[in-house]
Amino acid sequence: MFTHSFALLISLLAIIISSKKAPLNKTFGYYRAEVLAAFINGLTIILSIAWIIYEAVERFLNPNIIDIKTAMIVAIIGLIINIITGFILMKGDKNNVNLKSAFIHMLSDALSSVAIIIGYVIIYYTSWYFIDIILAVIVSIVIAKWAIDILRSSINTLMETSPLDITEVKEFIERNKNIIEIHDVHIWEITQDMYNMTAHVKIDKNHLDNYEELLHHLNHDLKEKYKIVHTTFQFEW
């Protein structure tokens, strides 16, 4: 429950910060706050896996301590809270990595609650105490997969990995007959759907008078086709 509110708080803070107007020296704005939040939420989900396993082992080692009926009620209340928050989060933008990380957190909590409830029911009727550990391992594998997805996409953005296929964009630009080739290409994502690009563009010397029109077309085409909203090109000949 503690990590539950923590994940929501981190995501909410990130939404507030990223919508703030950034001071002059923060030239890329505060947009990355949401990517950082997703990264932190991804990490805490991974940490919660250790907790899930620890709790299952603890229940297995001290089976007499648990009062199954009370534990069931706690698990069911937890599940209901998770489902409600999950539904609220589902209304948000599905491509937003920050909201997605909070949603995955809720989903992970819900899944472990379901596993605990199923475990209790099985233990209640069969006294198979080991079932708890088996379920915890299955849940952990599923949750780890979700968390790794979140971590991978947030790390890619933080490491300035190109969200587009560099070779494809290069070939697309070089299809223009006035452009000989482009090099030193950088494409990065500031935050979701906000792509930037810089490159050196070698142009045909004989068509230098077309320079302005060429630049205009280049920017227009890249925005239309690849959603690259900001470019800086250095022309060479």
Contacts to Zn ion by CB under 5 A? 184, 200
From the CB of 236, what's the least distance to Zn ion, in Å? 5
Smaller CB separation from Zn ion, 143 or 182: 182
From the CB of 231, what's the least distance to Zn ion, in Å? 7
Angle at CA of residue 50, ends 45 and 55, nearest 5°: 115
Smaller CB separation from Zn ion, 200 or 216: 200
Q: Are 136 and 31 in contact (CB under 8 A)?
A: no
From the CB of 184, what's the least distance to Zn ion, in Å? 4
Single out the residue of 190, 153, 189 nearest to residue 32, CA to CA: 190
Q: Residue 212 to residues 93, 139, 178, 215: CA-CA distances in angstroms?
A: 38, 58, 12, 5
Smaller CB separation from Zn ion, 49 or 197: 197
From the CB of 202, what's the least distance to Zn ion, in Å? 7
What is the largest distance, in Å, between two alpha-carbon atoms of the chain? 87
Q: Which residue is closest to Zn ion by CB?
A: 200
Smaller CB separation from Zn ion, 184 or 224: 184
* Residue 211 φ then ψ, to 5°: -45, -50
